[in-house]
Amino acid sequence: MTATILDGKEFAARVRAKVADHVTLLKEKHSVTPGLAVVLVGEDPASQVYVRSKGKLTVEVGMASFEHKLDADTSEADLLALIARLNADPEVHGILVQLPLPSHLDSDLVINSIDPSKDVDGFHISNVGLLGTGQKSMVPCTPLGCLMLLRDHHGNLSGLNAVVVGRSNIVGKPMAQLLLGDSCTVTIAHSRSKDLPAICQGADILVAAVGRAAMVRGDWIKPGATVIDVGINRIERDGKTKLVGDVHFDSAAQVAGAITPVPGGVGPMTIACLLANTVTATCRAHGLAEPEGLTV
């Protein structure tokens, strides 16, 4: 069997087109321009690449992009003061503080100082609690993108066995909440789980988000299962850097029914959902109708 490739790059372009249409409507009918502020502390090269790409795509869909680059040794007080200014700025509808932060900064404290209604990452404890209790919230971008791909492929997820490998606050836990919300039977497994291959073999939907290159292999996968690979690992091969997921793609694609590639799978969906969340936050801030299909 050879799996269907779930083309996240193409799907993300469609999501961004929908976002762009709604941005046009907000500007023309309501004189509101959605604005996204991205805060980067320090000079992590990978983070700089992501921030640049976010800024470019934000402008491409017609939104205002505000980039704040702070020195690696910025004090917590200065960072909190910037967030307070962005919270109070009516032109800013979404705020994203790029993670990870330098170790002298308390990321929980920083994230929880963002106005929850502008928290387009969905990491604020209020949004986590709202999502966990099935209430309207800002939904973390990567799990939201994975859910969009899954709903598009399956139609209805009700009753399916979903296994999420990884228990992070940014992917694993919110992914499990979303799958539960769509009536899957959800297992959260992780690197310490006993007999991880056997747990994965029970999955109709397998989401790999552990951060270990090519860990999930073909023989861990139930024939015909849908495999969502959240991993972004840079490895050296033949003197070149290569991007690989948490799934061993070649062996998995022999067994799975459908699979996301890396690159070109979940990554582009994450950025598209960030833009979608910014439109959602803008509509909510102005008491306007939210576009269909851009959130759960």
Ligand X SMILES: Nc1nc(=O)c2c([nH]1)NC[C@@H]1CN(c3ccc(C(=O)N[C@@H](CCC(=O)O)C(=O)O)cc3)C=[N+]21
Catalytic positions are 54, 98, 121
In the Cβ-directed half-sphere of 172, how many Cα atoms lie within 13 Å?
17
Binding site for ligand X (CB under 6 A): 49-50, 96-99, 121, 141, 232, 243, 262-264, 267-268, 270-271
261 or 291: CB nearest ligand X: 261
For the bound state, the minimum distance from the C-beta of residue 99 to ligand X, rounded and expressed in Å, comes to 4
CA dihedral 145, 211, 116, 94 (to 10 degrees): -60
By C-beta, is 96 or 255 nearer to ligand X?
Answer: 96
| Residue in the shown chain whose Cβ atom is closest to ligand X | 267
Residue 167, annotated as binding a ligand: yes
Q: Is 55 annotated as a binding residue?
A: no
Q: What is the closest distance, in whole angstroms, from the C-beta atom of residue 264 to ligand X in the complex?
A: 5
* Strand intervals (E) in 138-191: 161-165, 185-189
Torsion of CA 75, 78, 81, 82, to 10 degrees: -110
Is 228 one of the annotated binding-site residues?
A: no
Question: How far does Cα 103 stand from its chain's mean position?
Answer: 23
- What burial class does residue 111 get, using C-beta atoms within 10 Å of its C-beta: 0-12 exposed, 13-18 middle, 19+ buried? buried
**CB 208 to ligand X: min, Å:** 14
Closer Cβ to ligand X, 99 or 199, answer by number: 99
Extract the annotated binding site: 166-168, 232
Extract the annotated binding site for NADP(+): 166-168, 232
